[in-house]
Structure 1
């Protein structure tokens, strides 16, 4: 299958490596030719800057036609309008140029404001601007072509060690649940989804077993030989949010390599 991975960042390059190993025809995009040197040595490459106005041409049509598009464009906390503009343009290209489907990387941040166990059917707090941004992005892409939306928990893996997030810093409540997912599990899930062409669909990707924020970050900082975070001593008054990944565990041929975020820590760097 011809697959376009939009975004040659931390996650996009790992997905491209997995899908190329699976035998797919892989194309990886970057925002400028200047950023493409390292990409070109491993993958087919094209320039696509969704922050600018994109005019479809013969080259883009040849790429997007009959392709599966994997969107790794992150939802910016500082430029929500830019994020929506980028996804609007991508959705238009996929629809106009005849892409077959999309896998869209969204975020479990869409469940912000909820407590207790949440899953793909949970009612969202749409009055929150961040949640509205994420849901608008999901809707834009899903309206263009058949789409598998993946709501990703906190990202960890090679080159993204969680100890660096909070080491030596105030870290809030100690007893809340940690929702994390290792990049290797994202890649494995996407590989299985592509193989079975599971679209349209919606899955949470998050380690199935939970641990507390304090246990996770104390362990992470110890393994990385970094100062521990500073947690509040007062327990939380309401149940913390736990993102359930039960549905993703039903994907044939996929199982989490790391059942808990603690188990994933030795495989982060």
Structure 2
């Protein structure tokens, strides 16, 4: 008598396959529920929520390290967006300046280090490895984000006692940070295939953005809304939170397919049409 044995399937793979078959609205609902659940867990697990901001910066640093390793090991910048790196350098430079003149602290040092490494990456892509950079794929017009962010900063910025120019610059770097990854997503959309190091880098950005968003949301909840008042009045406090949420959701879809690819044991990430 033959014995039929049922192969055991990986539960994580079963769940990810089920999610993949759901319509976009269901996926969006599941993403929101997952995000809220993660926030609840972080609120009880991480007692000092300032550590979440440090975790965000550390994760970003890990992503940059992966990027540098890629450039050193492979000696090519295929799949990377020079424009995303340039936008990152712009908002970091503005944020470092604002930190120096408005509220110098340890984050100023961390941002300065990240800016230095980002400038090095730009130098490598533009001058040392420019032969491997495909400008036709990296075709996102950066003025599509720089000009709207600058215009929005003119009208919605902090209402603190600092100099008006510094307040506008502060708002500008917050808005630009929220959308700086868009050119990188455009490159991946154009290629549809993302090699491992680039995928690791973008995934690290997604995790960093989630930690940063969680930091702000939990700080507001812990202070029972006082933090919003401390940031000023008008639309600015809400725009700070909205910018953090936008950054997180811009990368959420990519992070889902990244995790699905890792669970499936795929070394190269293949994106369906319309993901980013």
Do they superpose with TM above 0.5? no
What's the TM-score bracket when you normalise by the shorter of the two chains?
under 0.3
TM normalised by structure 2 equals 0.26
The structure with the largest alpha-carbon Rg is 2
Relative contact order (alpha carbons < 8 A, sep ≥ 6): 1 or 2 greater? 2
**Higher helix proportion:** 2
**Higher strand proportion:** 1
